Every structure is written in C-alpha cells, then in structure tokens.
Structure 1
Amino acid sequence: MRNIIKYFLLFFTVLISGQELKKDTLKYTDIETVIINDKDYEKIDYSFALKQEINFRLKSVNPYSGYEIGLRFNNNLKQKGRISNVILYLHKTESKVNLTNLEINFYKINPKTGLPEEKLNTQQIIYTPKNKRRGQVKINVENHHIPFSEEGVLVSVKWLPNEFKDVAVGPAIRLTNYTEKLTYVSFNNDMTKWNNRFNFSKKLDIYTNVMLGLEVYIKKKKKNE
C-alpha cells in the first residue's frame, strides 16, 4: 500500500531573491507500513510535502527581531497521529552572510480562527546548519512526542542570534507558490500576534509559502486476514 500526500508549503516576508521559474520537483520516499511492538497494530507513515514552483528564497533574517515563520499543515487524514520528522528545504546562502542556529517549534491550531496558539514542544529543538549550500535537512523529533491533531499543526522556524552578533543571518530558506495561504509569521517573540499576510505573489489566488515538510505516523488496527 503506497500512500503519499503532497501538501504545498509556504513562504515569508523579508529579503526575497527571485530567479526565473525553475521546475524542480522534490522527490520523497514512498510511504511504508512498519509493524511496531504491539502485534495487533501497524505504524503507518505519511509524508506531507511540497513541490517547488518558484526559485525564491528568504535570504536573511534579523535574529533580534524575534522573527518566526511557519507553515500550517492541515490533517487531511482526519486521524490523530504523532510527528516523526520535519524537513527543511534550504536555498543557497550568500557567502557574506553568516549562519546561525535554527529553532524548530510546533503549535496547536485553533479550529475556529485557523491561527496557531499553544506551543506543543516542551523542549527547545535546535538545528545547526553545516554549510551554506542548498539542500534538504530531515530533523527527527519522535522523542518529543508531538501530537498531530485533527486540526493540524503549525511548524515554524526561528533564526537565533549568532556569536558574531549579526543583524542579518542565514541559512536561506526556500519559498514556493500555492493556492492557499498556509504561511504564518510572528515578530518580537509575541505568539499572540501570528498573521498570514506573508505573500509576494502577484497572481490572483496564488500565494507565497515557506517550504517545509512533515512526516507523521498513526497507529492502525491491523485487518484480520
């Protein structure tokens, strides 16, 4: 049984570098069924991913602005699960821009407003970039036991201050276009003021989104054979 859910992710407002549209479809591992300890259940993995539609990037961010950008993942499965991995799609960072650590956070979605609210991870999750090249990074978060509720979840990235005290830091993160506003941003570490006004697209009903990926799993009762 092969299941793949392609979700389209999102984008944010700061320095954007745009190049002519360059089709580059991201490829993902097919979903596998894995038997876990309980013999009566199976662990089903689902991948929510995104297709690159434009070759844009969020070039750099002021880490002292408390800027945080995230993508909302809707739960089309309508089944509760757990988050296993987050995927970052990084663009090439300019040579003159220093790198810094990224903080990864998860937020509960308010079913009435669609806005992120309560933070789901109780511990800080940090990714330290290894280089300035473009590429994909998979971050395993299974040990944090983060739920994937029926309302979905917002996954965000925050650039932290570095040792050089730079006011513009990388890594650069990819942006893409999609038919929904799924990207939310917040400033000044104020989690009560999320907004989804992040958009650089000039096309009607097409919106810029930040590119993130999410892998979740659910436990299903095995069918009797």
Structure 2
Amino acid sequence: MMKKNRSIIYQFIFIFSSVFLYSQETRIDTIRQKYKNIQEVIIYDKDYEKVDYSFALKQETDTKLLIGAGQSTYELGLKFKNNLEKKGIIKNITLFLHDTDKKFKLVDLEINIYKIDSLTEKPLEKLNNQKIVYTPKNRNKENVKINIEDYHIPFPKEGILVSVKWLGNIGDKKIGPAIRLTNYEENLTYARFSESKEWDRIPNLSKDKSSFTNVMIGLEVYVKKRKSDNE
C-alpha cells in the first residue's frame, strides 16, 4: 500500500513538474454534500430582493499544495457551476490557505475569474479586467475572504472558474503560501503552466475511487430579483 501511494504522488509530480504535495492527517467526513448553497442571507430593499448565495466545497481531507521553482506562471482553479440558473455579480472569494514552512518564500497571489465554455466545459475568457492580487499576511492555516464586489464581475449562467496564480520570481526555489486540497465527488479543478497552454484537470490523488482531488476555494454571489418574481 505504501509503494502504491508513493507511485501516485510521483505521477502527480511528474506531470506537474515542481509542484510539491504535502499530505497531512486525513479527516474524512461521512456526510458527502453536493455543490450547494451553504448560506443564504436575504436583505429587502425598495424594489429588489438581494440574495447572497455562498458556495464552497466541503472539506474531507487536509492536504496542502506548495509550488516549486520557476512556476510563477502556474495557475490552479476551481470550477463553479451556476445551479441558480440566474445571472449574478460575484461578491467574495475565499482562499483556504494551509500552513507554510519557513523555507518557502511567501509571494503575492493573483486571482482571476474565467467564464466556462458551455461546449468544452473548460475555462474560456477572463471576466476580470483589473488585476486582483492578495498579499499573504502570515504563514498560518486560515480562510481568507477577499471582497471583489467593486469589480462588478458577472456570474454567468455557464458558470465560472476561479483561479490562483503564484507571482514568484524566476530563481525562487520554493514559493508559497500553500493552498488546501480536498477530495470531492466531482472533478472540478483545472490547471495550466502558462496562458499559452491548455487547461487540464489535475491528477487524482484520492484513495477513494468515487472521489477526486480538488483545490479548496469559496465563492459568494449576489443575484437581484424583483419581489414580483416570487409572488
């Protein structure tokens, strides 16, 4: 079993070059949740009802991913389906960061949002016209909520992919912060090494054949509806 696990990890490293995986103690949750609303807050206004939807993957394992040398163009993202079937505006993005060892240099994270191609189901055009950059404050494991409401980025019916890119310099041997991975019943995570490369799903490291390795990212969306729509 040990040899089999090592073989899977080596396969991941071979495909994704200097990407390092550090497996922590696994915490399996017996309740599997589909990609769903986990929070709903309703605020009434004059003519509109504002509904704040939150989406996130339920954590089932505690694994972290760190980036190796020369991967400043490496981009990793999670696909969000629009189960609401209504257009919206993205309010917050949550990054689930893992603890990062001191030997890894902390760098800024660039966040991008892509529309999903309805035919290929892969990321298509970038929806944010301005750069969204997060500067890590420490090396601790934490959930970081980033408000992007002022960017007015749409949440289309086709869904989106939210990606993270580590902005390291050429020559940096190991960069962070680490981001958390989890297992989930759908394969929703894509990666690419540069903007000129195709997006591909990352290799699956899950021991459970019914689940897939995914990056942990959260999303909150505003959808405006007239009150008359619900009457």
The alpha carbon displacement at 1:29 in A equals: 7.9
Contact 1:64–1:167 under 8 Å retained in 2: no
The alpha carbon displacement at 1:63 in A equals: 5.1
The residue that corresponds to 1:209 in the other structure is 214
Query: Over aligned residue pairs, what C-alpha RMSD do you find?
Result: 2.3
Look up the equivalent residue of 2:216 and give its one-letter code.
M
1:189 aligns with 2:195: yes
* Higher relative contact order (CA closer than 8 Å, sequence separation 6+): 1
Return the TM-score normalized by structure 2: 0.83
The alpha carbon displacement at 1:130 in A equals: 0.1
Query: Following the alignment from structure 1 to structure 2, what is the Cα–Cα distance between the partners of residues 207 and 64?
Result: 24
1:31 aligns with 2:40: yes
The residue that corresponds to 1:9 in the other structure is none
Contact 1:184–1:198 under 8 Å retained in 2: no
Q: Which runs of 4+ in 1 moved over 4 A?
A: none
State how 1:62-101 maps to structure 2 within 5 Å: 62=69, 64-101=71-108
Over residues 159-178 of structure 1, what are the superposed CA-to-partner deviations in whole Å (9 max), with x where a residue is unaligned? 0025x951310000000001
Structure 1: gaps spanning 5 or more residues: 1-11
Query: Following the alignment from structure 1 to structure 2, what is the Cα–Cα distance between the partners of residues 138 and 176?
Result: 18
Q: 1:55 aligns with which of 53, 56, 62?
A: 62
The residue that corresponds to 1:41 in the other structure is 48
Question: Once the two structures are aligned, what percentage of the paired residues are identical?
Answer: 53
Identify the range of structure 1 (119-128 vs 192-201) with the bigger mean alpha-carbon deviation: 192-201
Query: Following the alignment from structure 2 to structure 1, what is the Cα–Cα distance between the partners of residues 90 and 216?
Result: 17
Structure 2: gaps spanning 5 or more residues: 1-12, 32-36
The residue that corresponds to 2:161 in the other structure is 154
Q: How many residues are aligned here? A: 208
Q: Which structure shows the higher helix fraction?
A: 2
State how 1:90-129 maps to structure 2 within 5 Å: 90-129=97-136
Look up the equivalent residue of 2:127 and give its one-letter code.
L
Contact 2:69–2:171 under 8 Å retained in 1: no
- Indicate how the Cα distance of structure 1 residues 23 and 201 shifts in structure 2: closer, same or farther if over 3 A, else same: closer
Contact 2:38–2:56 under 8 Å retained in 1: no
Look up the equivalent residue of 1:131 and give its one-letter code.
N
The residue that corresponds to 2:4 in the other structure is none
Query: Following the alignment from structure 1 to structure 2, what is the Cα–Cα distance between the partners of residues 61 and 180?
Result: 27
The alpha carbon displacement at 1:66 in A equals: 1.0
The alpha carbon displacement at 1:106 in A equals: 0.3
